[in-house]
């Protein structure tokens, strides 16, 4: 069976909590409340006239994360991390399939999620997105279970990340998805290692099986990968180093009928201002899709963005020792010239307390670059 009981997992954690050696148990996490305002221009029909009209939705997300770590001994660690989320508001009510989308998202081979409550405007969902054993001995590191396998190098897009593809626009999932897999890593030196991963699957041809070699040369960190991605062979690589005082990163992956590659440069000025720029070539991306492609494409390592070309730029500036402002832009030079604009401000209110204001706006060339969709987010977070 692919579904495991969340109740059983919670009982296991509770039992661990009564250990005689409390110092071996660590609990961390956070509680977040995010208010969302969504504006759609000429997107929904008027009930009485049938004509398209501007529509406004207000939503709320209450999000709790519990990160349990059990240091069984100097070699063995057990990690369990659980997301508990409560969604409620008008957008959920307007989307009858919302609960199913939430339940399916970010699960892997095993279904470690529970849809606790599904009401027209109220959804409660829990999911275990980390659950693994880690054994470390000498130069060996072995993990089995749901884990984050981070093979990416770039700051925005990661073609080398075969196991846990993520979208830049999903800013509220800092931990990023996990994969149900076995990972074996051997450190060949201070800055070099060999790593092999196989994901859980019903049949071997449905699994992802790949190896990664990391090494350092000429002040650069390099990596090479080779593997089987479902029913196709893949190979790729990447690097990270410096061009003068600027960081320089890149990675690429070649699939059977697709290629994805990215370059990135970032620089931090003495006053703290941070600049980040990058480019993505995605052969699986469209050159003709309209702006709806930003929300309807199927994310994977071979399709990291809905368009064939994308240019990214971001500037972050400290407005105050406790306040940072930023703006990020993604532009695609394709037929409709889609533009994604992402401004925001972060404020560290006090120790473990943060407040963020974030905007997401999309534009396309038709109608003089008017924006059909705008989203505003106000997020309050307490970490423990």
DSSP three-state, residue 293 = helix
Distance CA 18, CA 231 (A): 46
CA–CA gap between residue 340 and residue 291 (Å, rounded): 9
DSSP-derived secondary structure letter, 254: E
% of the chain residues with pLDDT over 90: 74
Per residue in 56-108, pLDDT tens?
899 999 999 999 999 999 999 999 999 999 999 998 998 888 999 898 887 89
> Cβ contacts of residue 53 below 8 Å, gap of 6+?
42, 44, 45, 46
pLDDT grade, residue 42 (50/70/90)?
A: low
139-159 per-position pLDDT tens digit: 999 999 999 999 999 999 999
- The beta strand positions in the chain, using DSSP E, are 25-45, 52-71, 76-89, 113-119, 122-137, 140-147, 179-189, 192-199, 208-217, 220-229, 232-243, 246-254, 259-268, 274-282, 309-320, 323-331, 339-350, 353-363, 373-383
Q: How far apart are CA 331 and CA 324, in angstroms?
A: 23
Tens of pLDDT, residue by residue over 281-299, are 999 999 988 887 787 788 8
Place of tokens 């969709």: 373
User: Has residue 10 got a pLDDT over 80?
Assistant: no
**Distance from C-alpha of 86 to C-alpha of 92, rounded to nearest angstrom:** 11
Which residues, 6+ apart, have CB-to-CB distance to 212 below 8 Å? 151, 160, 194, 195, 196, 197, 223, 224, 225
**Does residue 317 carry a pLDDT above 50?**
yes
CB 87: neighbour CB atoms within 10 A?
Answer: 21
Return the pLDDT at 205.
Answer: 85
**Closest C-alpha to 258, from 291, 280, 290:** 280
Instruction: Pull the structure tokens for residue 126.
Output: 């829990």
| Pairing assessment for the beta strands 113-119 and 339-350 based on DSSP bridges | unpaired
Confidence of residue 50 (pLDDT cuts 50, 70, 90): low
pLDDT at 53: 60
Label residue 318 by pLDDT band (50, 70, 90): very high
Is 370's pLDDT higher than 90?
Answer: no
Amino acid 14: pLDDT: 45
Residue 321: partners with Cβ closer than 8 Å, 6 or more residues away: none
Q: Across the chain, what does the average pLDDT equal?
A: 90
Contact between 171 and 358 under an 8 Å Cβ cutoff? The reply is yes
- Whether residue 67 contacts residue 101, with contact meaning beta carbons closer than 8 Å, is answered with no
pLDDT band at 7 (very low <50, low <70, confident <90, very high): very low
Q: How far is CA 190 from CA 118, 152, 322, in A?
A: 50, 19, 36
pLDDT-based confidence at 18, cuts 50/70/90? very low
C-alpha 266/C-alpha 70 separation (Å) is 37
pLDDT at 368: 73
Q: What is the distance between the alpha carbons of residues 43 and 46, in angstroms, rounded to a whole number?
A: 10
- 299-318 average pLDDT score: 95
Q: How many CB atoms neighbour CB 14 within 10 A? A: 9
Tell me the HSE value of 96 on the side-chain side, using a 13 A CA sphere.
0
Q: What sign does the CA torsion over 358, 362, 367, 372 have?
A: negative
- Does 363 have pLDDT greater than 80? yes
User: Torsion over CA of 298, 305, 344 and 346, rounded to 10 degrees?
Assistant: 70
Rounded to whole angstroms, the Cα distance separating 359 from 340 reads 10
Residue 212 has pLDDT above 80, yes or no: yes
Q: Which of 244-253, 314-323, 361-370 has the lowest mean pLDDT?
A: 361-370
User: Across-strand partners of 313?
Assistant: 277, 329
If one compares 170 and 252, the residue with the highest pLDDT of the two is: 252
**Mean pLDDT score, 111-130:** 95
Q: With contact defined as beta carbons under 8 Å apart, do 340 and 294 qualify? A: yes
Phi, psi of 82 (to 5 degrees): -125, 135
């Amino acid at each position: 069976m692919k579904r495991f009981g969340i109740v059983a997992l919670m009982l296991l954690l509770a039992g661990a909590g009564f250990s005689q050696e409390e110092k071996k148990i660590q609990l961390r996490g956070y509680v977040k409340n995010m208010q969302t305002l969504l504006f759609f221009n000429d997107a929904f029909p008027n009930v009485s006239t049938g004509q398209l009209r501007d529509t406004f939705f207000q939503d709320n997300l209450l999000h709790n994360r519990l990160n349990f770590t059990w240091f069984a001994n100097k070699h063995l660690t057990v990690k369990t991390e659980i997301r508990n989320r409560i969604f409620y508001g008008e957008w959920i009510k307007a989307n009858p399939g919302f609960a199913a989308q939430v339940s399916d998202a970010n699960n892997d081979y095993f279904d470690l999620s529970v849809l606790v409550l599904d009401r027209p405007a109220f959804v409660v969902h829990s999911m275990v997105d980390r659950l693994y054993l880690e054994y470390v001995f000498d130069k060996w590191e072995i993990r089995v279970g749901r884990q984050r396998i981070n093979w990416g190098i770039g700051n925005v897009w990661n073609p080398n990340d075969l196991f846990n593809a993520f979208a830049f626009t999903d800013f509220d999932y800092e931990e990023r998805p996990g994969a149900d897999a076995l990972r074996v890593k051997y450190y060949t030196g201070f800055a070099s290692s060999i790593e092999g991963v196989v994901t859980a699957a019903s049949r071997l041809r449905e699994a992802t099986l790949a190896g990664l070699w990391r090494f350092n040369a000429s002040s650069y960190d390099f990596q090479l990968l080779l593997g089987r991605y479902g029913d196709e062979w893949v190979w790729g690589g990447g690097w990270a180093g410096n061009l003068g005082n600027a960081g320089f990163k890149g990675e690429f992956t070649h699939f059977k009928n697709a290629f994805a590659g990215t370059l990135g440069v970032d620089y931090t000025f003495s006053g703290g201002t941070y600049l980040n720029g990058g480019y993505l070539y995605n052969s699986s991306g469209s050159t003709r899709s309209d702006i709806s492609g930003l929300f309807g494409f199927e994310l994977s390592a071979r399709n990291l963005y809905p368009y064939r070309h994308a240019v990214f730029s971001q500037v972050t500036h400290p407005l105050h020792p406790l306040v940072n402002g930023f703006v990020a832009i993604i532009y695609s030079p394709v037929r409709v010239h889609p533009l994604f604009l992402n401004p925001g401000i972060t404020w560290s209110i006090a120790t473990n307390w943060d407040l963020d204001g974030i905007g997401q706006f999309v534009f396309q060339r038709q109608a003089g670059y008017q924006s059909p969709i705008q989203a505003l987010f106000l997020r309050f977070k307490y970490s423990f």
